[in-house]
Amino acid sequence: MQLQGSGQTFPAGWFQIGWSYELARGEVRPLRFFGEDLVLCRYESGAVGLFNAYCPHMNANIGYGGRTVGETLACPYHGWQFDKSGCNTHIPYSSRVSQSKGLRSWHVVELGGSVILAWHSPDGSAPSFDPPGPDELPGIGESTFCPVGPDTSRRYAELPMHIDFVTENTVDMSHFKFVHETPEMGSILELDPVDHRFHVRFSMPMKLYGPDGGGEVVDAVTEVTNWGLGLILARFTDGASLIQAQTPIDDTRCELMLTMVLPRNVSGSDTPTGEQLARFKMACRQVENDMVIWTHRRAGAQAHLVAEEIAPFKTFMKWKRQFYPAPPAVGSQTQRASRSESEVKS
């Protein structure tokens, strides 16, 4: 079974590019994802915009020194302004605007005023499915849940690995015992790929950590949904949820972001309890254990699976193909060459 290796084609889907609390009104930030230099901004209205970073005028990177002017993005070099669609709307020293030169605008959304997502497609097409909604992420941005902030989010940047290593983990039950300190391996209870979603429900003994660092092992059932290849959504019985996001930076690196959505405690405080923070720390610790493997794993190599692994991995690999461009048909180049040759001869 061939695993997806590194390469210049990134999958289609919704991918996290940051958190809402990081971007104030009027702020402009440089980013790099999908092999592109990008610029993220928040307008005076509070809306968010994402564009290719280089000004078409003289190729300045707007992410460094750029600013918002009302609902437009202004280049720091000569002050050219671009609206939310990327069209040039104002040149300070000219009575005209450039109708043919603008910025590429990306589809971007904020989930519950907490998590910023961008849509990527290899062919530049519009979104083919929606980002997760309130039914998939109950509580995010709601008053009965703690606001997402630095205490409940964590970024792992510049990871030398492919994002597919992360998502295929959701069907790999045998690794839990060896990577995640569980006394037994997990067991899949339900495997349900539907369109862009891949839902997995599994039972697994889990070690819970308290504020003092101690912990006990409990049997737990976890429900996980892969929302495309960029987002993994885990929901827990107490109402908490975890968003695990993996976003390609370039051919060989990705960024991993974790977000814990936690119910407020009985006092109604914005600050999670020590027990809740210990739980998030435990989740981060388990992902860090995974990263030791992911960042040293060989991409693009053949995997040799045993009988117990084949069915879930085969189901996952078949589902995953929809997010990558279809490979050219075998022999298509030869057929085109032969046809061209016959046309020349005739």
CA dist 125 and 120 (Å) reads: 8
Quick: pLDDT tens for 188-228.
999 999 999 999 998 877 666 555 555 666 777 888 999 99
CA angle, 293 as apex, 314 and 278 as ends, to 5°?
Answer: 105
What secondary structure letter does DSSP report for 211? T
The three-state DSSP-derived secondary structure of 63-125 is CCCCEEECCEEECCCCCCEECCCCCEEECCCCCCCCCCCCCCECCEEEECCCEEEEEECCCCC
* Distances 272 to 20, 155, 173 between C-alpha atoms, Å: 18, 19, 31
**What are φ and ψ of residue 222, in 5° steps?**
-115, 140
Residue type, 159: L
Predicted local distance difference test score (pLDDT) of residue 8: 56
CA–CA separation, 136 vs 232, rounded Å? Answer: 11
13-120 and 150-323 share one fold = no
CATH of 150-323, one of 3.90.380.10, 3.30.950.10, 3.20.10.10, 1.10.10.10: 3.90.380.10
pTM above 0.75, yes or no: yes
The percentage of residues in the chain with a pLDDT greater than 70, rounded to a whole number, is 89
pLDDT band at 12 (very low <50, low <70, confident <90, very high): very high
Q: Which fold has domain 13-120?
A: Rieske Iron-sulfur Protein (2.102.10)
Question: CA neighbours within 13 Å on the CB side: how many for 296?
Answer: 6
Q: Where are the domains of the chain?
A: 13-120, 150-323
